Structure 1
């Protein structure tokens, strides 16, 4: 009788390795599709509910003269050209007229702002004198209006 020889190598029936011949390798990438789906659903919910949250409580508030809505801040425009001529709200005025009109503006509203525009050739003393007139009239909020420099070109 002849004995047949058998091979002891890898057998198709399983054996020594945990991963068989048909097994897939584990994925190293995370599937973000479900995350994106959930985020889009939440975005739609927030877009729909945000306007409702702003005015969800309806109230019938009492009316009074004391609770006036805030008016836009009031200001007067004070300009000085290169020749030293003074303009208040684009109308030429003398120093006496300027003082009178600024006092009236201060009487109307103490928080009135003076927006001072002066040509760059106007002497500093003239600008300081106008600031003094405004301050004496009762207006202490003075803003200096300037122009932005044009952007420099690269390589200049």
Structure 2
């Protein structure tokens, strides 16, 4: 084991601890913790349909759900609650050709209302889903 000797002529060993290795170890531990922390996300996962190359019989009827800033949910222009929305979605699944469901939330609509509507749509198992009016969000913020 060796000790550092001062250059000022004093033969006593230095009693200071070299901090460089300690700092290096702390930085490595910090990087390891950053890498191992899982990313926290809050999202509603929706299984989107897989595109099919086969020609399909497209129904011209499109159902539209709109959400305004006051939290009112409308189905093709008629105000509905979440229970009625569930019933309407179940009725569309019984049709021979499922119509496309278009969702258009207002840019200033509350997130919790949109989240609840999206959860109802996911639980219903809708196969054709589209978001319309996305260009309005460019000017909203």
TM-score normalised over the length of structure 1: 0.45
Larger Rg: 1
TM-score by length of 2: 0.49
Kindly indicate whether structure 1 or structure 2 has the higher relative contact order, using CA contacts under 8 Å at least 6 residues apart: 2
